[in-house]
Amino acid sequence: MRARFVLPTSSLLLVAAAAAGAQDPKPRPMPRGVVLQASTERYPVGGSTVEEITAALRGALGAEGGFIGHYAVGWRYSYRMGDGVSSKSGCRLANVRVDMQTRVRVPDWKASADAPPEVAAAWEAFTTSLENHIREHENIAIRTAGDFVQKLERMTDMSCRQLSSDVQREARSNTDRLQERQRKLDLDTREGSQAGARWPPVPPAP
């Protein structure tokens, strides 16, 4: 059996392979039963000053209706009955797998000869912090997916029809837990801005 849902994203509620200016990371070990497929779209951003880059960022986002990214999670499993199943239950799950598909748009600015060094440094700091924040969201989603797999592997019920209903209920609960964990991360970090994932950069205090 297969099922699928798509989770909405806030301004930085993303799962992504990499942020702008960074090399795509090597595949990381996944929890048992979790498969991740991540894609990153880079859109060009021009300008030589903070103001010009800010205007270019807003224009690029506005052209796509503000789309930044999203991720979808699907899961599949089969039923098992008979040997190895508790006498108190008639059906359990086997071959549980969670597929995560992610898509994110990130800005790609190429420093021009006219850009002051401090602007290039600010952009590098911004994209590094943005990547770290996105990866935190990704790690939360991966861990939650791993927990979901383990929970499904332990589930049993008297009938496979009832077990299917139990899985749907657990999936909704899992989605709520994931969204709450993601919201908490954004709340605790102010969507990453506390670590520098914000543009335009905050000018230094006089």
**DSSP states along 4-68:** EEEE---SS----S--TTSPPPPP----TTEEEEEEEEEEEE--SSHHHHHHHHHHHHHHTTT--
Determine, yes or no, domain membership for 7. yes
**Quick one: residue 173, left, alpha or beta (phi over 0 = left, psi -120 to 50 = alpha)?**
alpha
Determine, yes or no, domain membership for 206. no
Residue 10 has pLDDT above 60, yes or no: no
Higher pLDDT, 70 or 83: 70
Percentage, residues of the chain above pLDDT 90? 40
Range of the domain at 87: 2-195
Residue 105 has pLDDT above 60, yes or no: yes
Residue 83 has pLDDT above 60, yes or no: no
The upper half-sphere exposure of residue 129, i.e. CA atoms within 13 Å in the direction of its Cβ, equals 18
31-56 pLDDT, tens digit each: 999 999 988 888 889 999 999 999 99
Residue type, 70: H
Determine, yes or no, domain membership for 202. no
Mean pLDDT of 133-141: 86
Tell me the two tokens of residue 125.
């700091």
Q: Is 142 helix (H, G, I), strand (E, B) or coil?
A: helix
Determine, yes or no, domain membership for 204. no
Determine, yes or no, domain membership for 59. yes
Determine, yes or no, domain membership for 83. yes
Q: What is the total count of domains within the chain? A: 1
Q: Which residue has the tokens 């924040």?
A: 133
